[in-house]
Amino acid sequence: MEKEILEKIEIQQGDITKLTVDAIVNAANKTLLGGGGVDGAIHRAAGPKLLEECKTIGGCPTGGAAITKGYHLPAQYVIHTVGPVYSGSPKDAELLAMCYQNSLKLAEKYGVKTIAFPAISCGVYGYPIEDACKIAVDTTCRLLSEMESIEKVIFILFSAKAGNVYLEYLKELGTK
Ligand code: ADP
């Protein structure tokens, strides 16, 4: 993997709602009307105006992405994407890759320079973190090599264990 691409990727452990970046990505559900996990945390931190704007979007298909303002969040935008519910079929990987791809394309369109992703589908939706990590990083690296405007992509993980999965995979890519 090219060094310049890998240098744009950063791994952090913590709460995505606290990040001062241009955009944070929300692991939403198809209604875009809020939920538990990271979705609930983002809505709580952004305040009720986020839900008001989400209501005007009218939902989002799995693998798709939609953008709103960040309201009370330190981030300017929230990009809402809908990950697949893990089923074990090959379609899961395709849909998860689409989440990263469509989120990054939307970010580029809005001039986002710094963006943070949670581990989409790895909570209630049950995607194994080792597999999801590879899809997240590989798709992001591919997109970053095609777009100039995005300067930093942060993968922020809630647990140290998940963070280590990402760090190990990046180390592996860096030595290839
Ligand atoms: P999904 O329904 O897509 O699986 P979840 O919100 O259940 O989404 O979980 C996605 C990932 O986000 C999980 O790995 C979970 O630990 C993590 N997570 C939950 N809250 C936060 C937060 N505030 N910041 C960062 N990651 C979070």
Alpha carbon of residue 133 to chain centroid? 11
User: pLDDT tens digits, the chain, 176 residues: what are they?
Assistant: 688 999 999 999 999 999 999 999 999 999 999 999 999 999 999 999 999 999 999 999 999 999 999 999 999 999 999 999 999 999 999 999 999 999 999 999 999 999 999 999 999 999 999 999 999 999 999 999 999 899 999 999 999 999 999 999 999 998 76
Does the CB atom of residue 165 touch ligand 1 within 6 A? no
Are 63 and 27 in contact by the 8 Å Cβ rule? The answer is no
Does the CB atom of residue 96 touch ligand 1 within 6 A? no
Half-sphere exposure of 135 (CA within 13 A, CB side): 26
Number of structural domains found in the chain: 1
Identify the CATH number of the domain in which residue 150 sits.
3.40.220.10
Hey, whose CA ends up nearest to atom 13 of ligand 1?
A: 123
Domain with 54 in it: 3-174
